[in-house]
Each structure stands twice: as structure tokens, then as C-alpha cells.
Amino acid sequence: MISAGDFRNGITLEIDGKVLQVVEFQHVKPGKGAAFVRTKMKDIKNGGVVETTFRPTDKYPQAHIERADMQYLYKDGDMYNFMNTETFDQISLTEEQCGDAMKFVKENEMVKTLSHQGQIFSIEPPLFVELEITSTEPGFKGDTATGATKPAVVETGATVYVPLFVNEGETIQIDTRTGEYMKRV
């Protein structure tokens, strides 16, 4: 059990049958009246954000989130197939369950699955991936003074904005959290 006075960013709790993660918190001590904790909490199963206040003495059970390394095998229709590399168990998840996490992941790459009580609710791709550019417009000489960018399609089908000097066929590094170009490889 965790009291509201001990809330920190990233803590996951079970409140009213929901699994919530503390995104932001603030301890408030008004001049008049009792202290309270103002929080922003994210429902980890549906992604909704809720703002709530708690008394510092309120206690809630901590939710246990399991992280497992899985290898992304292939996409079959609208299902993504993964394999646990230790037990060789395979699972299939829908596009809705994976969300945008898979737009930068190639086949045979490792990802982390997040689950609560055996139910997978999210996929975490690697922080940085290296992908080849399959199509982009050629850059024009002299257009680099403003730090301009152009759209480029990478081998997974996602579109990334890259500097004008990056050409088709080159491999680039992408930050999967923001979807931004990092550097040429």
C-alpha cells in the first residue's frame, strides 16, 4: 500500500478497479484547511488522463506491471505476432493493442511487452532504431541555411522528417519516443 503523500512520477496504482500511473503530482498546503495531493494520472489500459486530488493519508495498493522481452516476428493481416525468446511461446496482438509503437519496428527486432495480471496492454519499442529510407525527394543545393527538412518514408512504411542532405537508400537512426531523425548511420 502506498499513501498519497508518497506519490512519485511513474508509480502505478490500482484504484477502483483501474490501473493508473502517476504522470504528475503536486503536494499542496493551503494557508487554511488540510493539505492535499493534486495528481494527473494515466489509465494504462485505455490511455485516458484523469486529474484527481487525494488526502495525503489515503492509501492504495501498488499495481504490479510485468515487462517481458519479446521478439516481433511478423504481421499477419491486422495481427502482430511476437515470440518469447526464453519459452518460445507465441502471442498475437491486434493493431489496436499495439498502437503506434510498431511503426518503427522491423521484423525480428526485440520489444518489451507490458502486462498487468497476464493481460498485455502495451508494447515498448527500442528507444532508437536504424532504418533505411525507401523514398524521399532529392535535396536542392543551397537550401540548407534554414535547417529545412523534407518527408522521407522508411522501410517500415512510417514517414519521418529528415534534413535535406539525407538521400534515398541511406540508413538513419530514429528516436521512437518522438519519431524524430537523430543521425545518419
Q: What is the pLDDT of residues 96-148, one digit of tens each?
A: 777 777 888 888 889 988 888 878 877 888 888 888 888 888 876 665 566 77
Q: What is the mean pLDDT of the chain?
A: 85
Residues 6 or more apart in contact with residue 152 via CB below 8 angstroms: 133, 135, 136, 159, 160, 161, 162, 166, 168, 172
How far is it, in rounded angstroms, from Cα 120 to Cα 25? 26
For the chain, what percent of residues have pLDDT higher than 70? 96
Q: Does 66-124 match 128-184 in CATH topology?
A: yes
pLDDT tops 80 at residue 175: yes
How far is it, in rounded angstroms, from Cα 69 to Cα 123? 10
Identify the H or E element spanning 95.
helix 95-98
pLDDT digits (tens, 9 = 90+) for 46-70: 778 889 898 888 898 988 888 888 9
Domain layout of the chain by residue ranges: 2-60, 66-124, 128-184
Q: Which architecture characterizes domain 66-124 according to CATH? A: Beta Barrel (2.40)
How far is it, in rounded angstroms, from Cα 156 to Cα 126? 14
How far is it, in rounded angstroms, from Cα 29 to Cα 34? 7
Does this model's pTM top 0.85? Answer: no
How far is it, in rounded angstroms, from Cα 44 to Cα 115? 10
According to CATH, the topology of domain 128-184 is OB fold (Dihydrolipoamide Acetyltransferase, E2P) (2.40.50)
How far is it, in rounded angstroms, from Cα 94 to Cα 97? 5
In this structure, whether the domain defined by 2-60 belongs to CATH 3.20.20.100 is answered with: no
Residue with cell 495528481: 39
How far is it, in rounded angstroms, from Cα 172 to Cα 138? 16
